[in-house]
Structure formats: C-alpha cells, structure tokens
A and B are shown apart, each in its own frame.
Chain A
Amino acid sequence: MIGFLIFWPLVASLALFALRPQNAKVLAFVASLVELVASLLAIVLIDHSGAVQLIITTPWIASLGVDFYVGIDGISLLLVLLTTTLVPLIILSSYGQPVQQPPIFYGLILFMQMALVGVFTARDGFLFYVFWEMALIPIYFICLIWGGADRARITLKFFIYTLAGSLFMLVGLIYLYLHTPGVHTFNIHALYQAGHSMSAPKQGLCSGMFFVAFAIKMPIFPFHTWQPDTYTVAPTQGTMLLSGIMLKMGIYGLIRWLIPVVPIGVASWAFTAIVLSVIGIVYASCLAIIQVDFKRLIAYSSIAHVGLISAGAMTLSKIGMQGAVIQMWSHGLIVFALFYIIDIISERTKTRTLSELGGIRQAAPLLTTVFMVVTLGSVALPFTSGFVGEFLLINSLVKYKVIVGAMAGLTTILGAVYMFRTFQRTMLGESNSLTQVFADLTVREKVILYPVVALIVLIGVYPAPLLGLSELAVNNVLTIASQVTGPMK
C-alpha cells in the first residue's frame, strides 16, 4: 500500500520525462487523482489505534544497516493525506497559464510528491534523509526553470541554505547511528535507544544539529532569510509546494525524529526554540504589514504562522502537538488558497502590488466571498480551521509560560491587521482601470477553490475526525519521549 503511494508518483513522473506526451498536464492530474484515491483507501485500511501500520520492511543496504522501512500512523497519515489532496489541486491550478516544457514541469511535481510521501512515511533514519534531500531537487529545478526575475541567485541561496541544514542533520544522524546498540542500524527503534542512552550534553548536541535542519526548512527566525525571496520568485505552483507541503517536513521532523529520539536534548533547547519562534511570529507579522507585494506579504505571514506551530510543538505537550498537527493541515489549505487567489488576481491584472489594486468586489463577488472565508481562516476566526489549530497552540503556550502565550497570541491580532488590510486594499474601495474589467471565477477555479473553502469551514466546525486520527499517535510519541524524561505535561 505505502509502496504504491511512494512509487506510483515516481513511475508517473519518470513516464512523463521519458515519453514527453502531448497532454502531460491531463496525465499528471489523473496520476495525482489515483494517488489521492489510494491514500483515501489507507484511511479505511488502518485502524486508528495510534500504532504504526501498513509496514513494509526489507533490507536495503545491509552492510550499513539501512532498511527500506516505511509505515504509517495517525500523524503520517494526516500529512500524506495533505500531500495527496494538495498535489492534484496544485496541478489543476496551473491550467490557467501556459507552461513551457509541460512534461518536465508536471514530472517534477510528481517526483516531488514521491519524495514528500516518502519523508512522511519513512521509519528508517537513512531512508528519511534520502527522501528529505530528494524533495529538494525537483523544487529547485521548478523554481530555477519556471521562476521569476533574478531566480538564479535566489534559488541557489535557497538550495545551499537548506542543504546546509540537511548536512548538519546528516552529521547528527550518523552520530546517533554510531550510538545504536549492537550492530549499528538506522531503524527508528534503534535510534530511540541510541538517543535515550546518550548523556544530556550529547543529546543536546544531536538535537541542535537536527533542529537547525528543521528550523531552516520551516523556517524559523533567524533562519528565514531565504524564504520571502524564494516564495516570491518561485512560480505559483512552486510556492504552493514549498509553503503548503514542504515546510511541513520541518515540523513533521520535529515531531517524529527529534522529540522522541533525543527528548532530554530537546527539552534543553525547548526554551530557546520557543523564544526564537515567538520572535519570528512578531517580527514576520510586523514585516507582513508593511509589504507592498501581495505574494511577499503572504510569504511573511507564513513565517508567522509556522513560528506558532513550531513553538506549540516545542512545548512538548499533548495539546501543543495536537495543535501543530491540525494547524499543519489548516495552514496547508489556507496558504494554498491564498497563493491561488494571488495567482488569479495577478493573472488578470498583471500586478501584485497592493496599491494598484482595489474594487475587485464589484466585478467578482464570488472571488471576494472565497477570499473572505480564507482570510477569516487565516486570522483564526472561530468556525474556521485556523481557529482550532491556533487555539490549541496558544493554549499550550499559555500553559508553558503565560507571557510566551501572550506574545504568541499577538499573531492573531497582527494577522488580522495585515490580512484585513490586504482584503480591503484589493477587494473593497473604488475600482481602477486595472480592476474595472475583472472576470469572476471560472468553472475550473471554482472546482479548485470551493472544496478548499469547504474543508476550511468543515474542519473548523467539526475537527474531531482529524484530532481523532492523530491523537493516539501523538500520545505514542510522547510516551516514547517520556521513557527517559519522566511524564510530560
């Protein structure tokens, strides 16, 4: 089952590269739909006990103790579902504008999907690392070939920045591997033992190395400097992949590979990490307020939101981690919708500068409504998905330290400032020469946006299924962590 989930997109992408069919975009969409159906089947196939299921394990590099070991639990399942849901939508969203070399473009997207599903299901450290790096190659080429102005310099910075983090993670991983008992292996259970048996300073060293990799990927202040440029310069689909799915790799890594493996080390870093995240929240929100470019504004807002997620997860509490898992879904949906709306607006008006827009509401009431719902989700209004996640996250931070919770809570207030201002400056007010003639949503755009909006509201009103999927898995992670630290909050 997981074998299919990982290798089907790979097969599809290789077929696109090799055969270069005329209607690559249709084929890619069909391939991603098949993947979605398969992942939905997985929900039925596993019982929701929180245990790891659908395991595949075969030796891969026997002499190095590396297995092809994949499996799925509630947390993995949610992220796999997020990937398989967003990728067809991302492919569909590219239909509006002609793409050069379509087979390669869609092939790279599917290749990326393979790597992402692999990252979210791998249970062998080496395998995890390989998938983690493999996700970087397609997105680099997507940004390099189809990106905007000055992309060569910006994407190279992005690549080297994230690779730097990954290599430190590799060093940490080897360090852990050499501490595994008996014959060294990368099996996650052996890594748990290795991590737990280390002294506190060694755990601290290890978790520092891992944390840098995850912090760069998310990104957390002060490792964020690659992000606004890259998001802005990437093609819309690239930005969606980066912000909708790829940054979740960092948070997922935190929950799966950092907290349960070296719990004492993480605990020693937790305060620093939370403070950095909270600084990032306030700092990025303030920067978002003064942006003039719509896309850049959303890029900064993404730093703020992800800062809250990582701060919540680093409280090492159940509420925080549950909140993080839910918020990953919510953020993925919202940021996808926002970037798509930007794409729609800029395609029709040829500008992303906020001061040049305004008054789109008169011509496009449907788009305005959709944008309103997404905006409300982004500022975490009750009955939207954003609320559930942010409530849990801020709750966990308040329990951790009231002052930290209060600072993090600023995200909703500052978020309201920049999101509502953006809404006002694009949709409301007088229309100008650019926005006077503005076609409302086409059928295809509706097909993409309506389900996303419906999901945002649905999760907000009835989050229980999502929470239920992840709850027991989160419990498991915390149980493993608490074997050495004693019970956690």
Chain B
Amino acid sequence: MNALYVICGLGVASLVAELLHLKKWLIPFLVLGIAAATVVGVRDWNTNVSYFHGMVVMDNIAISFSTLICVIAFFWFWMANNYFHKETHVTDQAALVLFVIVGGMVLTSFNNMAMLFLGIEILSLSLYVLAGSRKESLLSNEAAFKYFLMGSFATGFLLMGIALVYGATGFFHLDKVAGYIQTHSTGLPGFFYAGVLLIVVGMAFKVSAVPFHFWAPDVYEGSPTLITALMSTVVKVAAFAAFFRLLAYCFPQVHSSVHLALLVITVLTLVVANVTAVYQINVKRMLAYSSVGHAGYILLALVAGGRGLGNAIFYYLAAYSAATLTAFCVLDLIEQQHASASVDSFNGLFKRSPFFALAMSVALLSLAGIPPLAGFLGKYMVFAIAINQGYLNLVILGVVTSLIGVFYYFRVIVAMYFKEPPPGTLALSLSTKVLLAVLMVLSLGMGIFPNLVLVL
C-alpha cells in the first residue's frame, strides 16, 4: 500500500515542480521515486493486509502485479527521458502518467467493485488526455476522441454490470459476492448473469479483446509512440490483473455461465488479431494487433483456469512487457529518424547498427515465442494450463496463430537483415544503449531463470 502512496505523492510532486521551476531534475527524481516505490511495495510481501474496510487488499497477487507495473514504469520513464526533454508540458504529462500507474495499481488490488470502477477511471481519464497530447497532430486528436468514446461506453457497460450484480447479491465486496453465490447457487436471478456478462464485456474492452478491439489499432497508431508503449504494457498488465482477480475471486462458481462468451472472445481474439496483423505495413499498427493477439493467449489461460493460473498470467505479462518495451524503444528511435514507422524504415538496420538490430530481434523473437527467450516460456505455461484442463483444440488453434505471428514479426527481421540500408548512421545515446541492454538481459534472463519470476 505504501507504494501506492509513494506514487501518488510523486504525481502531486511533479505538479508542484512546475510551480517551483524544478523541471530539469524532475525525470531523474521520478525514476528514483518509482524505484523506491518498487522496493517499498515488495516489502509488503506475504503480509496480506486489507485497507479501507476491506475495499483494497494487498495480497501477494496484488503485490506481484503492482510491482510489475512499477518496474515497467521505471523502465518507461528511463526510456521517455528524451521525449520529455522536447516537451513543454513535462510536469503535466509526467503527472498524468503517474496517475495512470496509480489507477493500474488500484486495479491490481481492489476487493470491491467500486474500487474496480475507480481504478479504471483513474487510469483511463489520464490516458485519454495523454493519447491526445500531440495537439497539432490530427491522428493524435482522433486517437484521444476515439479512445474516450469507446472507453466511456465500456465503463458504462461495466457500471451496469456492477449494478446488476449488486442488485442480485446485495454486495460490492468480491469475497462477499463470491460467498453469496456459493450459498445461493440455485436461486440466482437471470439478471445476475446478465450483470456478469456485462462486466466481462467491459473488461474485454479494456484488454482490447476481439470483438471489442476496434479502438486499439487507431488509438495505438495515433498516440505518441511512448504513450502507446505505456498503453500496451502498464494498462495491459493492470487490466489483466483486474480481470484475473474478478474471475478467480468473484465468479469462480458462475464461470460456466459466462464461459461460452469468454471462449468465443478468446477464439476470435486469437484468430482475428493475428490474421489482421499480417496485413499491416506500419510497425506500430502491427504491434497494436500483436498486443491484441497476446491478449488472446492470456485469455486462453483465463478461460482454462485451474492451478498455476496466477503464475502463468504474471509470467506471460512480464515477458510480454519486457519484449514490448524493447520493441517500442527501438521503434521510437526509428520513427524519429524516418518520421515513419513503416516496415521499410527498418531496412538494413543490421548494417547501420548491429546492436539496435539485435535488440529488436530479441524483442520480436520473444514475442514470437522462440526459446530460450521469456516469451516462449510464457506461451508454454499458457498451453500447459489449457491442455491440463482439456482444451487441446484451443491449444492447437493457439499453435497455428503463433505461426502466423512468426510470419509478421519476421517481416521486420527480414527487413533489418536482408534489405539494403538507406544512407546515414544512427546515433544512440549511452542511456538508450544501457536501457536496451538491460531489457534484453531481462528477456533472456527470465527465459533461462524463470524461477526468479515464478513467485506466486
């Protein structure tokens, strides 16, 4: 819980920094602050304390996921150092990002539907603004508007669902709802199930599962690249943590009633996202679809359920985030050079900067699930869970979509190693190099020593 306070404090501090003319030192200060928050958060391990009359519970699942969010945020701020240098509104933007993180951390630890709603709103409202932060760009404005409209709809669904569930059970607390369902398993009214379904739909919007994904590619493409990186890592982790918490703690009993809906969503997400990604020529858009596709694999584990689910989802998200951050870091630099994020702008990267090409290759191979990188082990655990619960058919579908994934990820690899480079060299700052090296080591290290991450 203290971690949450620290991050809130940082957010306020960065707003105050504007007044006190401390902009210059803000980003290093924030990076250190987030590192401190991470340490503070980890120290709560195994304490399992609840706050605010049980509305927030800091159990191990909450701590592990919020630590993951903090670590991602740490790397994100590191990566964004240059970006903030050019911005005029450093403090506002940094504060907004910090509030996204706060929202994400609330989403990992809620034990009350009201907190779920609050978390989603804190997270989303900041993101709507951030998505439109390139005010002069039409695409950025479009992204913000689209995101806001779609997001509001989703929140509406979610609220309606919460209301219906409250109407049927009389509780907002997850554990009490779960207890009520257990004692009244036969006498639940029909609108209770409608409520659960609406909540699932609302969450599916947030994790951008098909068919509720239509906002994702446009918003990802239109937003500034670093904000996109934030959306596809922090937001994804938070949304899945919340989804997992809901399904595992609140609705394990009614799992079967929404099961079919989840199953359909999973299959659609796997197939549609991966197939559509093949047709993208813009790498940013391709990564957007790929992130939707990865949501499909996590959903596959969620649908299957069973032992080891928390571990698998946590590991998958950690592996995915490390690779995605690397890819976005490279993409951002390429975009600055070429003013475009098409596959062609990656041409001959290997000859221009082997280190850069190596970093991008590691990220893409990890996303494609090639051992010994972390992405492989994530996929392995998802598949193992699904086969254990008897979903062999879904796993075979997952195998086929992974192969499609290789096809589009490798298009970038082929461009980097095979095509002729344009003239000019790439200059890399030392800080970026170190960041990329650390992220690569993380992708590889998590793959070779997964015990360090498999803590749940």
Contacts and interface: CB of A to CB of B under 8 A. Distances in A.
A352 interface: no
A167 B418 contact: no
A397 to B, nearest CB: 33
B451 A171 contact: no
Contact of B418 (A130, A136, A145, A171): A145
Contacts of A61: 377, 450-451, 454
Given A133-B370, A134-B371, A160-B407, A171 B395 contact: yes
A151 B419 CA distance: 11
B417 interface: yes
A141 B417 contact: yes
Instruction: Find the residue from A136, A144, A160, A167 having the highest chain B CB count within 10 A.
Output: A167
A417 B408 CA distance: 43
A63 B372 CA distance: 17
A418 B238 CA distance: 64
A133 B376 CA distance: 10
A402 interface: no
Contacts of A198: none
A404 to B, nearest CB: 32
Given A129-B371, A130-B371, A167-B399, A63 B383 contact: no
Nearest to A177: B384
Contact of B384 (A137, A164, A174): A174
Interface SS of A by simple majority: helix
Contacts of A175: 387, 392
A171 B417 contact: no
B383 to A, nearest CB: 6
Contacts of B32: none
A269 interface: no
Contact of B388 (A63, A152, A171, A178): A178
A403 B44 CA distance: 73
A164 B413 CA distance: 19
Contact of B372 (A134, A168, A178): A134
A170 B370 contact: no
A63 B453 CA distance: 11
A156 B370 contact: no
B403 A144 contact: no
A283 interface: no
Interface string A159-177: 1100110011011001101
A175 B391 CA distance: 11
A175 B414 CA distance: 34
Contact of A152 (B371, B407, B418): B418
Contacts of B365: 137
Contacts of A151: 418
A19 interface: no
B448 to A, nearest CB: 9
A104 B371 CA distance: 20
B60 interface: no
B264 interface: no
B83 interface: no
A184 to B, nearest CB: 9
B415 to A, nearest CB: 9
A152 B414 contact: yes
Contacts of B160: none
B406 interface: yes
B402 interface: yes
Contacts of B383: 170-171, 174
A62 interface: yes
B406 A159 contact: yes
Contacts of A137: 365, 370
Given A130-B372, A144-B417, A174-B384, A167 B403 contact: yes
Contacts of A163: 370, 403, 406
Contacts of B152: none
Interface string A138-162: 0001001100000110001001100
B380 interface: yes
Contact of A167 (B392, B402, B454): B402
Interface in B352-399: 354, 365, 370-372, 376-377, 380-381, 383-384, 387-388, 392, 395-396, 399
Contacts of B451: 61-63
Nearest to B354: A104
Interface string B408-452: 001001100110000000000000000000000000000000110
Contacts of B372: 130, 134
Contacts of A171: 383, 387, 392, 395-396, 399
Nearest to B399: A167
B169 interface: no
Contacts of A167: 399, 402-403
B384 A156 contact: no
Interface residues of A, number: 29
B50 interface: no
B77 to A, nearest CB: 29
A141 B392 CA distance: 32
B282 interface: no
Contacts of A170: 380, 383, 399
Given A134-B372, A141-B417, A174 B380 contact: yes
B126 interface: no
Contacts of A159: 406, 410
A99 to B, nearest CB: 15
Contacts of B402: 167
Given A168-B399, A175-B387, A63 B454 contact: yes
Nearest to B410: A156
A130 B354 CA distance: 25
A178 B384 contact: yes
B437 to A, nearest CB: 11
A159 B413 CA distance: 12
B81 interface: no
Interface string A53-79: 000000001111000000000000000
A23 B287 CA distance: 40
Nearest to A61: B450
A160 B395 CA distance: 18
A156 B407 contact: yes
B311 interface: yes
Nearest to A205: B392
A160 B407 CA distance: 7
Contact of A145 (B399, B417, B454): B417
A51 to B, nearest CB: 29
Contacts of B418: 144-145, 151-152
Contacts of B414: 144, 152, 156
A100 to B, nearest CB: 9
A211 B199 CA distance: 44
A130 B370 CA distance: 9
B368 to A, nearest CB: 9
A370 B388 CA distance: 56
A152 B412 CA distance: 11
A185 B263 CA distance: 29
A61 B372 CA distance: 13
Contacts of A168: 399
A168 B400 CA distance: 9
Contacts of A141: 417
A413 B252 CA distance: 67
Interface of A: 61-64, 104, 129-130, 133-134, 136-137, 141, 144-145, 151-152, 156, 159-160, 163-164, 167-168, 170-171, 174-175, 177-178
Q: Considering the complex of A and B, which 3 residue pairs feature the smallest CB-CB distances, nearest first?
A: A130-B371, A167-B399, A133-B371
19 contacts: A61-B454, A64-B381, A130-B376, A134-B371, A137-B365, A144-B414, A145-B418, A152-B414, A156-B407, A156-B410, A159-B406, A159-B410, A160-B403, A170-B380, A170-B383, A170-B399, A171-B387, A171-B396, A174-B383
Given A137-B365, A160-B406, 5 more contacts: A130-B376, A144-B413, A152-B418, A156-B407, A171-B392
Interface of B: 311, 350, 354, 365, 370-372, 376-377, 380-381, 383-384, 387-388, 392, 395-396, 399, 402-403, 406-407, 410, 413-414, 417-418, 450-451, 454
